[in-house]
Amino acid sequence: MPDSGMLDPMLQRTLDILGTRDASPPFLPLAFRFFASFGLLVLHLALPPEGRASGPGENLYLAAMTLLLAEGVWEAGLGLRRRSVLFPTPPLPWIRWNLALDLALVTLVIAYQGVGQERFSTLYIFPVLASAFYLGTAEIVWVGVASSLTHILLVLGFTTGLLPPFGLSGEGLDLDGARLAYLLGIASLQVFGTTLVVVLIRRNLERLSTDLIASEATVDELSALHRRVVDSMSSGLVTLDREGRITSANPAAQSILGCPVPLGAAIQTILPLGDPLPAQRGREHRFELILPGKDRTRRILGGHLASLRGAGGQETGQLLLFQDLTELKALEERTRISERLAAIGQLAAGLAHELRNPLASISGCVQLLHRREAPEEVQARVLGILDRETQRVGAIVSDFLDFARPEPPPGTMLSLPRVLDEARASWEMDPRTGGLSLAVQEAPQVFLRADSVGLHRVLMNLLSNARKAVKDVPVPQVSLAAWASGGWIQLAVEDNGCGMSTEQLSRLFVPFSGSFEEGSGLGMSLVYKFTEAMGWRIEVQSRPDDGTRVQIFLPECPLEEGLA
């Protein structure tokens, strides 16, 4: 028995010899009539006389079978010449003609082989089955009715003698009433049962076909919408397979890259994303690349690379989405420069405002000293004002220089209790405190790394602001505390003074925005700049007439490192 895998090539070679191009599905009624008539003729002629059916009308039977075979050969040859197909499907009128010829072939075979044999009546099922592929449900029913009526008329014709003897039908046909009813009933039941099943199957197939067409239309619409969305995107979209080769790219990708995107090429040939790709490690990867452009320019691309997953959730490749950030980065840089210039202008305006008052006092004092008739006590008072305003200008300039310093000097290892003791000593030696006591909580024996001068200035600025805030409070209270927990140190300066409003809190760290008459207006700006430069965190809690609490969070250094 030949291998089933060889049947298709063998059939194709046979069809090539006959002049056909392919093995497309044949037209069943014509193929059935061609092979059935050919096989029956060969079989009848090949069998010895005693082994084949013989009787009246044998020559007519052979002639009719030859005509049916000749008609089938003619139609097959016509199909080869016109369509290069052995058994092509013809137009609807020819389909009906071929089904009528098949019905005639079946009737001829049953009439010659004997209408009394039940097994031959089953042949009427074939025209019904064949019609299901080419006709509508109503015509299928008519084929079934025609097949059943033909069989009934054929049997009754030979039984009643209306038809002359033909082959094994006619002479010696013994069909009594029960036998006749049984034969006709079984044959009709087979034909009509087959017709019913075929009609039901055909209707279901038509409904499924309609649903399939509607589904295909919906899929086509969604596919077209998806393509329009991808093509309309201003961002570049590239899909990759699991090996990082390009499988698709939208027009924006080619426009942004400024070159064609070759399908099948590795993505590294157009974008330096590394090998293996970062997204192959199982997480989304964001990137920003600088690519050389034309005329010594450069382009900045930014985007992300993510896994592309199939319907089952398995990774099937990567999805690359990117944008041209060149203009955006240039705009950000211009905005940053504008903000810096605006900040410098605001800072310069604040500095000029702070210097204007002491300079005006100094100018007035100089004019008084030019008057020689001024009494000595007036001159002494004027000199005192000059000294005080000069110190004030010096303090403003010194704070401004500290604020403008790029970064704090390298830190050293400091003992937390010693830091608090030095702050308390400076408080007690400051004549401006006016005997106001400072409550200092005992600090834990831990170490920290910081610039000692900068940290001391931060604490004194916070304590100075607390002192100013409790100036008009009947029972003033100022405290300095420190805690250590979980590797972090918390410093807190708290008072029960005037507090701050929400607007004042929002501008607390802006230079020259202080609300106290005393000072340069740069104290809290210096505090914020130092803590940010050290990588620390500062929090301020305050409400009007309810005091202020300032907390600084900084990392603790290991004891071993501190002792070393």
Residue 252: give its domain's CATH number. Answer: 3.30.450.20
Question: Does 229 fall in a domain?
Answer: no
**67 and 20 inside one domain:** yes
Query: What is the block-wise mean pLDDT of the chain (564 residues), using blocks of 10 residues?
Result: 43 48 72 90 85 82 92 89 83 92 92 82 87 88 91 86 84 71 84 89 86 89 87 89 88 86 87 71 75 72 85 82 86 74 62 63 71 68 72 65 59 89 87 86 89 86 88 90 91 91 82 64 79 88 90 84 49
pLDDT digit string, tens, across residues 362-414? 777 777 667 666 676 766 777 777 776 676 676 666 656 555 565 666 678 89
**239 and 350 inside one domain:** no
Question: Does 215 fall in a domain?
Answer: no
- Report the CATH number at residue 483: 3.30.565.10
Question: Does 47 fall in a domain?
Answer: yes
Q: Name the one residue in this structure whose structure tokens are 């009594």.
A: 176
For the entire predicted model, the pTM comes to: 0.45
Task: Report in angstroms the alpha-carbon separations of 132 from 104, 124, 218, 309, 543.
Answer: 18, 14, 28, 44, 90
- Please say whether the dihedral angle defined by the alpha carbons of residues 79, 83, 88 and 90, taken in this order, is positive or negative: negative
**161 and 308 inside one domain:** no
What are the residues whose beta carbons fall under 8 Å from the beta carbon of 539, sequence distance 6 or more?
A: 550, 551, 553
**379 and 509 inside one domain:** no
Structural domain boundaries enclosing 547: 412-563
Structure confidence at residue 519 (pLDDT): 57
**194 and 251 inside one domain:** no
Question: Does 278 fall in a domain?
Answer: yes
**489 and 397 inside one domain:** no
Greatest CA separation for the chain: 171
What is the tally of structural domains in the chain? 4
Structure confidence at residue 525 (pLDDT): 80
Structure confidence at residue 434 (pLDDT): 80
How far apart CA 108 and CA 113 sit, in angstroms, is: 9
**28 and 93 inside one domain:** yes
Question: Does 361 fall in a domain?
Answer: yes
What is residue 293's three-state secondary structure? coil
Q: Among 274, 289, 324, where does a domain finish?
A: 324
Half-sphere exposure of 535 (CA within 13 A, CB side): 8
Structure confidence at residue 269 (pLDDT): 85
**11 and 144 inside one domain:** yes
Question: Does 166 fall in a domain?
Answer: yes
**159 and 55 inside one domain:** yes
Judged on CB neighbours under 10 Å (0-12, 13-18, 19+), 62 is middle
Structure confidence at residue 378 (pLDDT): 67
Question: Does 521 fall in a domain?
Answer: yes
How far apart CA 94 and CA 72 sit, in angstroms, is: 12
How far apart CA 425 and CA 43 sit, in angstroms, is: 129
Task: Report in angstroms the alpha-carbon separations of 109 from 67, 70, 84.
Answer: 14, 17, 31
Q: Among 359, 380, 404, where does a domain finish?
A: 404
**295 and 338 inside one domain:** no
Q: Among 357, 385, 404, where does a domain finish?
A: 404
Query: Among 265, 335, 280, 328, which Cα is nearest to 302's?
Result: 328
Question: Does 216 fall in a domain?
Answer: no
- Report the CATH number at residue 386: 1.10.287.130
**398 and 444 inside one domain:** no
**274 and 147 inside one domain:** no
